[in-house]
Amino acid sequence: MCATGVTAFDSTFSCGDYDGALRDLIHLYKYRRVRPLAAYFGGMLSRGFPRDQRFDAIVPVPQHWIKYLARGFDHTRTLARDLSRRTGVPVMRALRKVRHTPAQAGLTRARRRKNVGGAFAARGGARVQGLNLLLLDDVFTTGATANAAAAALKKAGAAHVSILTLARADRYGNWRAGAPARVVESFEGASE
């Protein structure tokens, strides 16, 4: 990932692979608004939470207001609130999406980076100077969104930004063989 310019965050953690049943459930939650899945996903994220690190806040990756109106809810902020209740780490709305972007699905790695480049900025009044932050999103694919959001947080003074997602898509073909992600739990092994 470093060779492709994905360097703004310090570590990344995912709860499972973005395929099969987990992918289907994420789509139900995100696009079909099956909101009760938030509690299930909150449990997954809690188990995937990197307990060997200390975080000052959980920062949900924001969506643009146009997407919010179309979707009817902020799926990532809902997940962040649930994870906060389970871990005691407060949610901080430190980012805003300043530019509406087309969906990332179907774009090449380079086009994804260009699509979200400069799309995020620190919210006015967000005090992130020197903080260790956990950036939360639903899916990690190429890292373009996570990188752009983490870059905005670092520009605002964050000391450390880790990423936690429900799922990771295997866009690199071999991320299990030493890439910086750690799969915490696959969906098939879930007990809830």
Query: In three state form, how does the secondary structure of 62-83 look?
Result: CCCHHHHHHHCCCHHHHHHHHH
**Residue range 5-20: average pLDDT?**
83
In this structure, are residues 49 and 83 in contact, taking their beta carbons and an 8 Å threshold?
Answer: yes
In the CATH hierarchy, which top-level class contains the domain 2-173?
alpha beta
Query: For residue 181, what pLDDT band results from cuts at 50, 70 and 90?
Result: very low
pLDDT score of 185 more than 60: no
pLDDT of res. 188: 31
> In this predicted model, what pLDDT tens digit does every residue of 118-145 receive, in sequence order?
668 888 878 999 999 999 998 887 778 8
Cα torsion angle, 137, 55, 188, 33, sign: negative
- Cα–Cα distances (Å) from 89 to 6, 23, 128, 140, 150, in that order, read 26, 27, 14, 22, 18
> In this predicted model, what pLDDT tens digit does every residue of 41-63 receive, in sequence order?
999 999 999 988 999 999 999 88
- Cα–Cα distances (Å) from 11 to 147, 161, 165, in that order, read 11, 7, 12
More confident residue, 159 or 103: 159
pLDDT score of 189 more than 60: no
Domain boundaries, the chain: 2-173
* Average pLDDT of the chain to the nearest whole number: 78
pLDDT of res. 74: 85
More confident residue, 112 or 19: 19
Return the H-helix or E-strand segment holding 151.
helix 144-155
In angstroms, rounded to a whole number, what is the distance separating the alpha carbons of residues 4 and 134? 22
> In this predicted model, what pLDDT tens digit does every residue of 161-174 receive, in sequence order?
999 999 998 755 54
More confident residue, 59 or 109: 59
